[in-house]
Structure 1
Amino acid sequence: MRIYHSLGAGGVATRRELLADGMSRYAITRAERDGELVRIDRCRYALPGAIPQVVTAAAADATLTCVSALDVHGIWTVPDAQLHLRRGGYSARRRELPAGAILCSSPAGGTRRPLDDVVSALLAAIRHHPEEHAVMAMDCILYRRLLTRAELAAQLAPVGLKGQALLSRADARTESALESLARQRLRAAGFRPRPQFKLAGVGRFDFLLGDRLLIEADGREFHGTAESFESDRRRDRAAAALGYAVVRLTWRQVMSSWPAVVADLRAATRRRRPAA
């Protein structure tokens, strides 16, 4: 199968882009006939394995953006059933939005491509979503070394001081979306969590609160196997032998029961505070 360089943005390209890529009109027709390209509309084509959300955006004469685009790029997001789309002034047509889609805007404007890049999607998320969601995405970008902190700071210019303030809360040591949310909410509640705390002879824990309370944010992607379950309990037992307590937080607890979690953690840190 031919390599279609112009179909990098989620596997979708216009006829003009394919022609600029060196294909002839006959080659495009033949590729469609042979099943190598799928026609979306009169001027757009997709690879058979193209990302469905990007194809849906292209068919709606729009660009996948905000948290929907971040998710496609593998950046941590809070699950959102809605499809986030952006439309620019370039299109005279206004096709009906697909079911479950909403329109967003980006301070940077964006391009005509069917999929926003990571930074454009992040800028849209900063505009339309809670701050902790944007910080979580920044955590992921820094953790995966997609951009350095200085590079990301420069890219946040369209959102001004707000972007810089959010970036100051981001932490490149964060290893999961749940860990990011837990850290942010712990700090907002007045705690001073020490991230990635290394306990000699036992291993690393997500946070240390106070002197003796260890916190683990148990996302299923890291703790869902029988082997990891056994390893976690072994570490908990070893930590307890050294006088530490371990609290494990799930996604549901952080997202839906946070006031109760905070109350329990405050009680636990008070009890474990050494006497004067």
Structure 2
Amino acid sequence: MLDDLLRSHDGVITLAQAGAAGLNRQAVYRRVRSGHWLRCSPGVYFVTDRPFTEHARIRAAVWGYGPRATASGLTAAWWHTLTKYSPKTVEVTVPAVSNPRRRYEVRTRRRDLDPADCVTRQGLRLTALPLTVIESAVRRDGGMKILDEALQRHLLDLRELWNAQLRNRGRHGSPAARLLLTTADDGAHSAAERLLISLLRRAGVTGWKANQRVGRWEVDVVFRDPKTAIEVDGLAFHTDPEAFQRDRLKQNELSLMGYRVLRFTWLDLNEYPERVIGEIELAIGRRAGGAETSRTGAAR
């Protein structure tokens, strides 16, 4: 029983779990004194006969704050496999009445979580997927990509995100998350269009017009010479299969009319604006051969 527990918990065990497996305190302390177990924090131990993995590091950090401690933020996102890289700082949400001790590379927040916002994965308590996503989305270090990934993989929808947001009003980062979700509900496609136009103006790119008809389609941004059509996708564009198919048909027809079509997502515009402008400039010839061509033309 003890071996199975250690194997499934990455070699990390609490004093309470050891007791349930038949070890009293003296047996635990003997293992610590002999060097077979390493004390990570009060009541949390690691068995030294295996590598101390990232899973073990995060599990030990969360369990060090008691049975009601919950992995949250980017830590929960990594545990949910929404992001490839584990966070350097482990984020833990503890009950509001707690007085958590500060520990190296651990950040705690005091808040009572609704049961609907907590799940257990591989024996670790963490925030449920909707709350994890909206907490991560407002973070600068890859948060928008996590939101995009969750929607693209159809792991949840905007309704679930709104429910989690409303259950957790007043938390750290709540206003920014509310603005993001409001933008999505209001038509993130329009917000993405406005952001693209703002990027074009700041970069001094001219010769384009917004919301122009080409054939039977309305195109977000058009350069008539050279023929370049730019389409932007809103925050939740992946969730509508019919819109996805329509966009592909539109792109094919524009290409047959001689237009070079560039597509950018909400994520592209927010996280990689310089790359977006660079690709547009290459498409219209402003960077061809390392020299700029004419910038004449009316904006919008």
Structure number with higher strand proportion: 2
Normalised TM-score (structure 2): 0.45
TM-score (normalizing by structure 1): 0.47
Structure with greater Cα Rg: 2
